[in-house]
Structure formats: structure tokens, C-alpha cells
Amino acid sequence: MSRFVRSKLLVQKYGGSSVATPEHIRNVADRIIACQAEARHMVVAVSAMGKTTDQLIGMANQVSRHPAGREMDQLLACGETIAVSLLSLALQDRGVPAVSLTAAQCGIRTDGSFNKARIANVETGRLVHELESGRVVIVAGFQGVTSDHEVTTLGRGGGDITGAALAAALQAPVCEICTDVDGVYTADPNAVEGARMVPELSYEEAIELAASGAKVLHPRAAEICMQYDVPIHVRSTFHRRQGTWIRGGVMENAAVVGITSDKKIAKVTLLEVRDEPGLAAAIFRDLAREDVNVRLIIQAAPSHDRNRITFVTDNDQVDRIEELARTWRKKKIVGEVQVDLDVAKIAIVGSRIASTPGLAARMFTALAKVGVNIDCISTSEMKVSCVITRSDLDNAVRAVHGEFFGTARPAAPRATTPTRRPSTSRPARKVAAKPATTASKRRSAR
């Protein structure tokens, strides 16, 4: 057995598009072998192949009206288990010692929240043993296991979270997120021809971009790496060129770093809400109890002892809201609940956005020039978001991107301060995660 040296460890995560077919899996195996020239030890988190998770969800919907809970996690975890076994077999066929491990086998412990579990800690004993035995360790992403041995899943995109948690627990020098694009872009390169790759981001910028709709990285993965000071390298599976580095020490500049968009939202308007203390609290307690994630809230000034409350949420939570609406109407808390699915969200993200005069005005002006009307606005220190009509989104993204980035030019690297690297002399530690559509007509829930 060889001694485990953390400075020689590389943690990688491969997404579903990277392992979508047996040919893709063979190519990933070859890439891992190439990476071994630089890394003595390798831990690789892998997502389910291609659209496997969607197919499993589709089958669940064919046999159950509301598939969820423990049995759903038992089902969905199968996708990653298949992928890691195939990748391990591909490596072994090339003469590389490799072992595939489920979350239970490598000690990824979570809380008991089925379908949306959070990692409590990672037990590194088995991982270190396999690494010292000279094996490439292939870990099933997206999975966890509770203290009483129940299988859980981390939510969509949870493979990124697994990779980040493994890198943090093992104190890796870097966590590589290998995907089907070259890095993080200023906008979706499939929608904006002039989008360009950003060479470097702060953790905070990456979290805000991911939370606002950028698909390259899960925000919880960035939160874990920020907490444990593990740099992230988002790069392509299909070549070895540099991608986007996400780390601490990026100098704070007042700048827009990206344009994000999200079509999977719904705007909910509560009409004729009684203007009484405590009613708004009761409404949002009900939403929280049903795990409805609220992103933006606007309350109009009361008129004739009645309020109007508008909020934005994920469009897959509409059924829960409509069930609550019946209760609110029965209790005469609200008069009517309108759900609008013909909406989308566009945001500018960066550092010191809200406190820098003129940035919001430039965004609004760019939207006005292409005839896009703004429905709702939300701001934070790192973001300005607008809710608009869904059919206007593509034009809006191109217009706002053109305002802030113009034609495609290479983005200049920003000044950085030295990034602290994990010491190779510290013992391994447990890591805990921070308690971090087509257009349709407006409809009323009665």
C-alpha cells in the first residue's frame, strides 16, 4: 500500500451528458487514465447516464399519481449505481485498478429528507483505504444514506454536491466539474451567439449565477467548496484545456459577470387578501410547510382593507399551491389565486450590482429597446432579476448580453489574491453541507 498524499489527489465529477453512452464512458475512462499522469490518487463522482433519471421519473409517474418519498429515492439511486459500475469496468478493462462505491459503501451520510437530503458528513476511511491500495475510486453521485441505512437522494443536480463534499472531506487541492461545455459562460452559449467563457469567478458569484438559472454548477456544491476553501475548476470532459476557476481571493470589482435566465417558474398572485396582522405570515407558513420555494414577494398597498400579494416560485410546485388555495378560500383568507405559467426570469449577476448606480438602468433600457415589458423586479447586492413574458426571454437575454458584453471578446482574467491550499499534514475531516416549459394560459385556483 502507498501512503495517501492529499497534494497528489484529484477529485472529479462527470455529469450525465459525459457518460451518456457506453462510448462516452469509454472516453471518460481514457480521460481518467490521462489525468493519472498528474495525480497519484483519483476520486471520481459520476451522475446517471444521459436521461436515465428522467426516464426513471417517467416510469414512476406511470405507476403512481404522486411518486415521492423513500421508494422514489430507492428508484432514482439506481441510475448512478449503474453508471459507476460501468465506468469501473471500463477502467479495469484498460488495466487500471478501480472500484465503484455507492454512497452507503463510502460513507456519505445525510439527514432523513427523502428526495432533497443534505449531507451531514462524509466518512473517509473506506475512501482512503481504496486510494492507498492504488485504486481509482468511482463514487455514485446524487446519493446518500441516513444513520439508519435508508437511501436518500440530494435533489436534481446532486452529483455536483457529491463531488464537492468528497473534495472537501478529503481536503483535495481542487474539485473538477467535468461537463459538456468549456466552462461558465456570460450567458447560455446555445441561446446567445456572443456568449464567452469567464476564466475566473468568486465563490459568491458562482453561487448567485447557479441559483439564478445557470446550469453548469449546483449552488450547494459551490457553497460547500467555499466553506472548506476548495477551488473548483469547471471544464470540458472532451478536451484538457483550462475552463473556469471558482475560488476565493478574486478581487472585488463592480461588474456584471453573467446573464442568467429561467423558464421554469410560475408567478402566483393572491387577490383580495384580508389586510390583517398575521395573515401574510400564515400564508407563507403554509407554503413553507409544503416545501414551496418562494423567490420573490411583492405586496401592493392595501385598498378597502384588502391586499394583493404576488410571489414567484418553481413551476413544478403549482399543484401544491392550488391545493393550498382551496384552503385559503375556504378560510376566506384570500378571494382568488391566479397562477401564471407564461413567465420567465432574466437576471444580471456580479459583484456590487445593487450598490453600483446605472447597472439596473442599463438592463431596463436594453429590455425596453427590444419591446420587453417588465412584470416584477427583485434586487440584491449581487443580482437584479426581472420577471417577463416567457416568449420574450430569448430576445431579452440577447439584448441584455449585448448591452453588458457587446461582441464576443476574450474576457480578461481578474486580479487575484493568493488562494489558501489545504495542508497535506492535516487529518481527514468530516464535511457538512450548509443548510443551504411551454407557455400556458393564466388559470385561477378555485
Of 4-18, 102-116, 296-310, 376-390, minimum mean pLDDT range: 296-310
The pLDDT value given to residue 416: 47
Which architecture, in CATH terms, is 7-251? 3-Layer(aba) Sandwich (3.40)
Residue listed under C-alpha cell 398575521: 278
Which architecture, in CATH terms, is 253-408+437-446? 2-Layer Sandwich (3.30)
The pLDDT value given to residue 357: 86
pLDDT digits (tens, 9 = 90+) for 284-305: 999 999 889 898 898 877 676 7
Residues paired with residue 152 on neighbouring β-strands, in sequence order = 144
The pLDDT value given to residue 254: 66
Average pLDDT over residues 220-242: 96
pLDDT digits (tens, 9 = 90+) for 4-48: 888 999 999 999 999 999 999 999 999 999 999 889 999 999 999
Residue 268 scores a pLDDT above 90: yes
| pLDDT band at residue 347 using 50, 70 and 90 as cut-offs | very high
The pLDDT value given to residue 155: 93
Cell of residue 383, nine digits: 443580482
Angle between helices 203-211 and 219-227 (to 10 degrees): 160
Higher pLDDT, 403 or 276: 403
pLDDT digits (tens, 9 = 90+) for 147-159: 999 999 999 899 9
Residue 433 scores a pLDDT above 60: no
CB within 8 Å of 331: residues ≥ 6 apart: none
The pLDDT value given to residue 435: 37
The pLDDT value given to residue 182: 94
φ, ψ of residue 306 in degrees (nearest 5): -130, 145
β-pairing verdict for 244-246 and 232-236: antiparallel
Residue 436 scores a pLDDT above 80: no
Can you give the residue ranges of every domain in the chain?
7-251, 253-408+437-446
The pLDDT value given to residue 403: 96
The pLDDT value given to residue 250: 63
